[in-house]
C-alpha cells in the first residue's frame, strides 16, 4: 500500500472507529467518496477491530524480570544477641535496622538500641573500622549524646552497635508538640550545639545531623544519636583519615554542598547541618524549594540555588500565643542572618565551629549585635570577587584556545613547500592575529567592568563579542581573517557551541576559497573542521549529518589521492566520518571507514596511541550496536588498555573508554571487574574539565547500576547524587549533559523500582524518555533502557 493511501486510511479509520457501529457505513460513504479501495480497506479494519480485543492479552509477568529485592522475614526478633535479647524493630532505614533489646540478668533490666548496619563496605573492612573507632566513640560520654555501649558481630558476621536507648521525640516534632517559643527553640538548639562541640573536641564529626537523629526526652533533654557512625560506614577513606565524606548515609537534603560534591566532611560541615536543623526548627520547612524528592534533583538545588531566608518562608511551626506574622517579624533580621551564615555554600564563610554558631545565637538572645550581620558586607564583596574569578577563568580559556590556534598557524608554516617565505608570511599574519586578540580581550575587559555583565557573562559572551567584531574588521586581510574565523570556530567548538562554530568555519572556508585552489591543503583543513562541527550537530539535526557526510567525503576524496599520501588529516577524517555513520546506524559503512583509518594510524603512530584506541572504541561501539557483546567487550578492552599505557593520557580518554568497557561488562554480568576498574581509576577529589565531569557523571551511572543490581540502593543514591553534582553548572541544553542527565534518571528509576516506589519510577523514566529527541545512538540507549525498566514496573489497574 502506498504512503498516501495509508495516510488516508489512517485518517478515515481514526474518525470512523469512534462512531457507533450503526453510523459507520454512512460516514465511510461520505469520507471515501468514490474511492472503493480506501473504503473497503477501512471497512475491513473496522471489522477486524471488533474482534481484536484478545490479541493484547496481559503479558505473563513471570517473563519480566524484576530488579526488586524482596524483604526477608525478620528472624531477629526474639533472638538472643550476646547478653541481650531483641524485642522489636524500632526503625529501618538506609543505614540498616534498629531494634530495641533488653539485657535481663535477673537483677535488673536494661533497655538498649541495637543497630545492625548496612554498608557497601565488606564485612571485614567494617569490622576493622569498628575496632579502630570503638574506643573513640565509647569515650564520647556526654549527657546529650547517646552512649555507644558495645559493638560486635552476630552469627551471620553482621556487624552491630549497641547504644543507649533513648526514649524521646524527634526534636522538630517535640518543639511543635510543646509549642515552644522561638527563644525556647533557640535555647534547646544551643544545647545541641554544645554536644556537637564536645564531640568535635574529641575529633569526632557527626556528618549526619538531622532532626531524626536528635531525640528530646520528656524532661527536654536532647540526645544526639549516631555520632560518628556515618564515618564508619562511608565508602572512601581508611580509618586513619579523620574526616571523610559521610554522604553515603545521608539524605541529601541535610548534606552540605561539600559533601554533595564528594569532598571531605569537616566540623564545618556539621555546622552547615546544624544550620539546616535550626532552619527546620524555626520555620518548619527546608530552605530550598525542591521540585522532587529525588536525590539528584535535590543536590542540584542545594548546589545551584541560594536558600530562602527564614522570615521569607511561610510559617510552618506552632508557637503558643504567636501569630504567623509575629513569628516572621521575630525571625527577620538577625536570625535570618545567623541561619544563612551557617548555610553558606563555602565552608570557609560559615561559622567556623558549633561554638561560634551558638555564641552568635547567645548574642542575639542577649540583644547584642550579632557577628553574622557584621560579615554581610564582606560577604557581598566576596561574592563579587568570586564572580571576577570566574571571569578571569573565562579569559584564560578563551586566550588559551586562541593562542592554541596561533600555534597551529606556525605549525602549518613548517609544513609549507617554500618554508622560509611562507614562514615569514605566517609570522606577519600571526602578529596581526595577536594584535586583534589582544584588543578584543582588552575591550571585553572594559565592558566587563563597565556594564557589570554579571555572573552569566562567560567565555561564550566574550567570544560572541570577538565574533561580532571580526565580522566588520580585517576586510583587507582575508588570510588573517580566515585564520581568526577558524580559531574562533575552534573555540566555540571547545565550548560546546557547534552551531556558532559552523558559522565561523564556513566563513573561513569561503575566504580561503577566494585565495586558494580547490585542492589546496588549507582548504581541506577548513573542510575537515567544518565537517567536525557539523557532526557535533548531527545528533539533533539531520541536515547537519548530511553536511558532515558531504564534507568528510570531500576531504577523504582529496586526501586519498596518491600525492597526499600520508597526510594525517586523512585517517582522522575516516575516523570522524565513522563516528557520524555510527550515529546514523550505518554500521557496515562505519566499520569499513575505520578499517581504512586503522592501518594509516598504525603506520603513523605505532601500536598504542589515542587515535588507534579511538578506532577500537568505535569498533566496540559498532559491535555493541550490532548486538555482538563479546566482540564489543574485546574492542573496548583493547581501547581501554591502550589508553592506560599512555603516560600522557587525558582524563577524557580514560573516562570515556572506561565507561564503555564498564557498561559492556555490566551487561555481560561482569560486575566485579567493572567495579574494580571503576574503583581503581576514579579517585575522589581533584578537579576536572567541564566535559570530563560529564564523562565522570556517566561513569558514575555505571557504578550506581552495579550498586543497584547488588541491592545497595542507598549506595546508588549517593553515587547518583555525586554524579548530579558533577553535572551542575554549564549550559543545560548541551547535548552531552542532557544525555548524562538522562542516564542518571534511568539509574534513579532503577533504584526507585528497587524500592518499589513505582509511581516515582514511572515519572522519572517517562520524563527521561520524553526528553529523547533526535537521532543519536546514545539517546536510543536511553529510550531502550527506559522502555525496559518501565516494562518491569507492575501495572496498576487497567486503563
Partner 1 sequence: MRQILVDYARRRDAGKRGGGMTRVSLSESVLVLDEDFSRLLMLDDALRRLEQVDARLCKVVELRYFSGLTVGETAEVLSVSTRTVENDWNLAKAWLFRTMSS
Binding flag, residue 10, partner 1 (CB under 8 A)? yes
Out of 57, 109, 135, 514, the only residue in the binding site for partner 1 (CB under 8 A) is 57
Q: Give the nearest distance from C-beta 25 to partner 1 in angstroms.
A: 17
Which stretch, 8-16, 22-30, 308-316, 356-364, contacts partner 1 (CB under 8 A)? 8-16
CA distances from 30 to 42, 117, 278, 654, 661 (A): 13, 73, 72, 66, 60
Binding flag, residue 39, partner 1 (CB under 8 A)? no
- HSE (CB half, 13 Å, CA atoms) of 654? 19
Distance CA 413, CA 430 (A): 11
For partner 1, the closer of residues 525 and 748 by Cβ is 748
**Residues 6 or more apart from 720 whose CB is under 8 A from it?**
295, 296, 700, 701, 704, 744, 747, 748, 751
Ordered DSSP codes for 475-526: TT-HHHHHHHHHHHHHHHHHTT-HHHHHHHHHHHHHHHHHHS-TT-HHHHHH
For partner 1, the closer of residues 702 and 782 by Cβ is 782
Binding flag, residue 404, partner 1 (CB under 8 A)? no
For partner 1, the closer of residues 170 and 756 by Cβ is 756
Out of 20, 36, 60, 606, the only residue in the binding site for partner 1 (CB under 8 A) is 60
Out of 29, 37, 44, 439, the only residue in the binding site for partner 1 (CB under 8 A) is 44
Out of 21, 26, 59, 557, the only residue in the binding site for partner 1 (CB under 8 A) is 59
Binding flag, residue 14, partner 1 (CB under 8 A)? yes
Out of 478, 652, 766, 774, the only residue in the binding site for partner 1 (CB under 8 A) is 766
End-to-end CA distance of the chain: 33
For partner 1, the closer of residues 10 and 561 by Cβ is 10
Q: Give the nearest distance from C-beta 774 to partner 1 in angstroms.
A: 12
Distance CA 225, CA 247 (A): 17
Which stretch, 42-50, 157-165, 288-296, 481-489, contacts partner 1 (CB under 8 A)? 42-50
CB 162 within 8 A of CB 138: no
For partner 1, the closer of residues 318 and 792 by Cβ is 792
Binding flag, residue 102, partner 1 (CB under 8 A)? no
Distance CA 151, CA 154 (A): 10
Distance CA 770, CA 742 (A): 10
Binding flag, residue 17, partner 1 (CB under 8 A)? yes
**Near partner 1 in 600-639, by CB under 8 A:** none
Give φ, ψ of 602 to 5 degrees. Answer: -65, -40
Binding flag, residue 51, partner 1 (CB under 8 A)? yes
Q: Give the nearest distance from C-beta 735 to partner 1 in angstroms.
A: 18
Q: Give the nearest distance from C-beta 794 to partner 1 in angstroms.
A: 9
> For residue 63, what is the DSSP state?
G
Distance CA 219, CA 168 (A): 9
For partner 1, the closer of residues 236 and 771 by Cβ is 771
Binding flag, residue 779, partner 1 (CB under 8 A)? no
Binding flag, residue 449, partner 1 (CB under 8 A)? no
Packing angle between helix 690-709 and helix 651-667, nearest 10 degrees?
20
For partner 1, the closer of residues 3 and 563 by Cβ is 3
Compute the Cα dihedral for 688, 269, 752, 296 and give only its sign: negative
Out of 218, 410, 603, 791, the only residue in the binding site for partner 1 (CB under 8 A) is 791
For partner 1, the closer of residues 53 and 732 by Cβ is 53
Out of 46, 86, 188, 394, the only residue in the binding site for partner 1 (CB under 8 A) is 46
Strand order in the sheet with 80-81: 80-81, 84-93, 96-104, 109-117, 159-164, 148-153
Q: Give the nearest distance from C-beta 15 to partner 1 in angstroms.
A: 9
Q: Give the nearest distance from C-beta 795 to partner 1 in angstroms.
A: 5
Binding flag, residue 790, partner 1 (CB under 8 A)? yes
For partner 1, the closer of residues 21 and 603 by Cβ is 21
Which stretch, 60-68, 113-121, 379-387, 571-579, contacts partner 1 (CB under 8 A)? 60-68
Binding flag, residue 108, partner 1 (CB under 8 A)? no
CB 52 within 8 A of CB 69: no
Residue 36 is inside which H or E element, if any?
Answer: helix 36-51
Q: Give the nearest distance from C-beta 522 to partner 1 in angstroms.
A: 44
Out of 26, 37, 52, 381, the only residue in the binding site for partner 1 (CB under 8 A) is 52
For partner 1, the closer of residues 281 and 746 by Cβ is 746
Give φ, ψ of 223 to 5 degrees. Answer: -130, 130
Q: Give the nearest distance from C-beta 135 to partner 1 in angstroms.
A: 47
Q: Give the nearest distance from C-beta 584 to partner 1 in angstroms.
A: 16
For partner 1, the closer of residues 627 and 685 by Cβ is 627
Which stretch, 52-60, 339-347, 359-367, 718-726, contacts partner 1 (CB under 8 A)? 52-60
Distance CA 72, CA 152 (A): 22
How would you class 268 by CB atoms within 10 Å of its CB: exposed for 0-12, middle for 13-18, buried for 19 or more? buried
Give φ, ψ of 103 to 5 degrees. Answer: -105, 125
Catalytic residue among 208, 297, 567, 717: 208
Binding flag, residue 6, partner 1 (CB under 8 A)? yes
Q: Where are the alpha helices (DSSP H) in 305-353?
A: 324-331, 334-342
For partner 1, the closer of residues 415 and 795 by Cβ is 795
Grid cell digits, residue 147: 552512649
> For residue 236, what is the DSSP state?
S
Which stretch, 153-161, 702-710, 745-753, 784-792, contacts partner 1 (CB under 8 A)? 784-792
Q: Is 162 left (phi over 0), alpha (psi -120 to 50) or beta?
A: beta
Cβ neighbour number for residue 65 with a 10 Å cutoff: 9
Which stretch, 48-56, 73-81, 534-542, 681-689, contacts partner 1 (CB under 8 A)? 48-56
For partner 1, the closer of residues 48 and 324 by Cβ is 48
Q: Give the nearest distance from C-beta 159 to partner 1 in angstroms.
A: 32
Compute the Cα dihedral for 561, 567, 570, 573 and give only its sign: negative
Binding flag, residue 320, partner 1 (CB under 8 A)? no
Active site residue 336: no
Residue with cell 565522570: 696
Which stretch, 57-65, 140-148, 180-188, 306-314, contacts partner 1 (CB under 8 A)? 57-65
User: Considering only CA atoms, which of 229, 249, 239 is closest in space to residue 129?
Assistant: 239
Cβ neighbour number for residue 535 with a 10 Å cutoff: 22
CA distances from 372 to 265, 349, 376, 379, 380 (A): 23, 10, 7, 10, 13
CB 501 within 8 A of CB 487: no
Q: Give the nearest distance from C-beta 773 to partner 1 in angstroms.
A: 8
Binding flag, residue 2, partner 1 (CB under 8 A)? no
User: Considering only CA atoms, which of 315, 314, 277, 307 is closest in space to residue 289?
Assistant: 307
Out of 23, 40, 61, 291, the only residue in the binding site for partner 1 (CB under 8 A) is 61
Residues acting as catalytic residues? 208
Chain residues that interact with partner 1, rule: CB under 8 A: 1, 6, 10, 13-14, 17, 44-46, 48-49, 51-53, 55-57, 59-64, 762, 766, 769-770, 786-788, 790-791, 793, 795, 799
Amino acid at each position: 500500500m502506498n504512503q498516501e493511501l495509508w495516510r488516508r486510511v489512517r485518517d478515515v479509520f481514526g474518525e470512523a472507529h469512534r462512531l457507533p457501529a450503526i453510523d459507520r457505513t454512512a460516514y465511510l460513504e461520505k469520507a471515501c467518496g468514490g474511492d472503493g479501495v480506501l473504503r473497503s480497506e477501512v471497512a475491513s479494519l473496522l471489522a477486524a477491530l471488533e474482534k481484536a480485543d484478545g490479541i493484547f492479552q496481559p503479558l505473563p509477568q513471570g517473563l519480566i524480570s524484576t530488579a526488586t529485592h524482596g524483604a526477608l522475614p525478620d528472624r531477629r526478633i526474639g533472638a538472643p544477641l550476646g547478653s541481650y535479647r531483641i524485642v522489636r524493630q524500632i526503625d529501618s532505614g538506609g543505614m540498616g535496622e534498629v531494634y530495641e533489646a533488653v539485657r535481663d540478668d535477673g537483677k535488673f533490666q536494661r533497655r538498649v538500641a541495637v543497630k545492625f548496619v548496612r554498608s557497601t563496605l565488606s564485612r571485614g573492612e567494617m569490622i576493622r573500622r569498628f575496632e579502630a573507632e570503638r574506643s573513640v566513640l565509647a569515650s564520647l560520654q556526654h549527657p546529650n549524646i547517646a552512649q555507644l555501649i558495645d559493638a560486635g558481630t552476630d552469627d551471620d558476621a553482621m556487624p552491630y552497635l549497641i547504644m543507649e536507648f533513648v526514649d524521646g521525640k524527634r526534636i522538630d516534632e517535640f518543639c511543635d508538640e510543646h509549642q515552644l517559643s522561638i527563644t525556647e527553640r533557640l535555647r534547646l538548639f544551643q544545647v545541641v550545639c554544645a554536644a556537637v562541640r564536645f564531640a568535635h573536641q574529641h575529633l569526632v564529626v557527626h556528618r549526619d545531623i538531622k532532626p531524626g537523629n536528635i531525640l528530646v526526652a520528656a524532661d527536654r533533654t536532647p540526645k544526639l544519636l549516631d555520632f560518628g557512625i556515618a564515618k564508619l560506614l562511608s565508602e572512601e577513606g581508611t580509618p586513619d583519615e579523620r574526616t571523610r565524606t559521610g554522604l553515603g548515609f545521608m539524605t541529601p537534603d541535610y548534606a552540605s554542598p561539600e559533601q554533595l560534591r564528594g569532598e571531605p566532611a569537616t566540623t564545618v560541615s556539621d555546622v552547615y547541618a546544624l544550620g539546616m536543623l535550626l532552619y527546620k526548627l524555626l520555620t518548619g520547612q527546608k530552605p530550598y524549594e525542591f521540585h522532587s524528592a529525588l536525590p539528584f534533583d535535590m543536590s542540584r538545588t542545594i548546589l545551584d540555588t541560594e536558600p530562602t531566608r527564614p522570615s521569607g518562608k511561610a510559617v510552618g511551626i506552632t508557637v503558643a500565643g504567636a501569630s504567623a506574622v509575629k513569628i516572621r517579624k521575630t525571625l527577620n533580621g538577625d536570625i535570618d542572618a545567623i541561619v544563612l551564615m551557617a548555610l553558606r555554600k563555602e565552608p570557609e564563610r560559615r561559622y567556623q565551629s558549633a561554638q561560634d554558631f551558638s555564641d552568635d545565637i547567645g548574642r542575639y538572645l542577649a540583644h547584642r549585635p550579632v557577628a553574622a550581620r557584621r560579615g554581610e558586607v564582606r560577604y557581598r564583596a566576596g561574592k563579587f570577587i568570586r564572580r571576577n574569578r570566574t571571569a578571569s577563568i573565562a579569559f584564560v580559556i578563551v586566550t588559551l584556545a586562541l593562542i592554541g590556534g596561533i600555534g597551529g598557524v606556525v605549525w602549518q608554516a613548517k609544513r609549507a613547500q617554500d618554508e622560509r617565505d611562507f614562514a615569514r608570511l605566517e609570522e606577519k599574519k600571526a602578529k596581526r592575529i595577536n594584535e586583534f586578540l589582544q584588543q578584543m580581550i582588552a575591550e571585553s575587559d572594559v565592558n566587563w567592568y563597565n556594564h557589570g555583565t554579571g555572573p552569566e557573562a562567560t567565555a561564550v559572551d566574550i567570544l560572541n563579542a570577538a565574533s561580532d567584531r571580526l565580522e566588520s574588521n580585517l576586510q583587507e586581510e582575508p588570510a588573517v581573517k580566515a585564520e581568526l574565523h577558524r580559531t574562533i570556530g575552534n573555540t566555540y567548538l571547545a565550548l560546546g557551541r557547534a552551531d556558532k562554530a559552523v558559522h565561523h568555519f564556513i566563513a573561513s572556508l569561503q575566504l580561503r576559497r577566494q585565495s586558494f585552489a580547490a585542492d589546496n591543503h588549507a582548504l581541506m583543513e577548513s573542510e575537515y573542521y567544518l565537517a567536525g562541527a557539523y557532526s557535533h550537530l548531527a545528533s539533533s539535526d539531520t541536515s547537519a549529518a548530511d553536511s558532515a557526510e558531504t564534507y568528510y567525503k570531500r576531504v577523504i576524496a582529496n586526501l586519498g589521492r596518491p600525492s597526499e599520501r600520508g597526510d594525517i588529516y586523512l585517517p582522522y577524517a575516516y575516523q570522524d566520518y565513522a563516528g557520524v555513520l555510527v550515529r546514523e546506524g550505518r554500521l557496515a559503512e562505519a566499520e569499513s571507514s575505520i578499517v581504512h583509518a586503522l592501518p594509516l594510524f598504525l603506520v603513523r603512530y605505532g601500536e598504542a596511541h589515542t587515535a588507534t584506541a579511538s578506532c577500537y572504541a568505535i569498533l566496540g561501539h559498532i559491535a555493541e550496536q550490532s548486538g555482538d557483546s563479546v566482540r564489543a567487550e574485546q574492542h573496548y578492552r583493547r581501547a581501554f588498555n591502550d589508553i592506560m599505557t599512555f603516560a600522557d593520557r587525558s582524563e577524557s580518554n580514560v573516562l570515556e573508554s572506561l565507561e564503555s568497557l564498564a557498561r559492556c561488562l555490566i551487561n555481560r554480568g561482569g560486575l566485579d571487574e567493572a567495579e574494580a576498574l571503576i574503583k581503581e581509576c576514579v579517585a575522589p577529589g581533584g578537579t576536572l574539565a567541564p566535559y570530563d565531569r560529564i564523562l565522570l557523571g556517566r561513569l558514575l551511572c555505571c557504578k550506581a547500576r552495579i550498586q543497584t543490581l547488588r541491592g545497595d540502593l542507598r549506595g546508588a543514591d549517593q553515587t547518583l547524587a555525586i554524579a548530579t553534582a558533577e553535572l551542575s553548572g554549564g549550559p543545560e541544553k548541551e547535548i552531552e549533559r542532557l544525555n548524562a542527565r538522562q542516564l542518571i534518571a534511568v539509574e534513579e528509576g532503577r533504584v526507585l523500582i528497587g524500592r518499589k516506589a513505582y509511581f516515582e519510577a514511572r515519572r522519572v523514566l517517562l520524563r527521561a524518555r520524553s526528553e529523547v529527541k533526535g537521532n543519536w545512538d546514545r539517546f536510543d540507549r536511553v529510550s531502550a533502557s527506559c522502555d525496559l525498566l518501565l516494562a518491569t514496573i507492575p501495572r496498576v489497574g487497567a486503563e
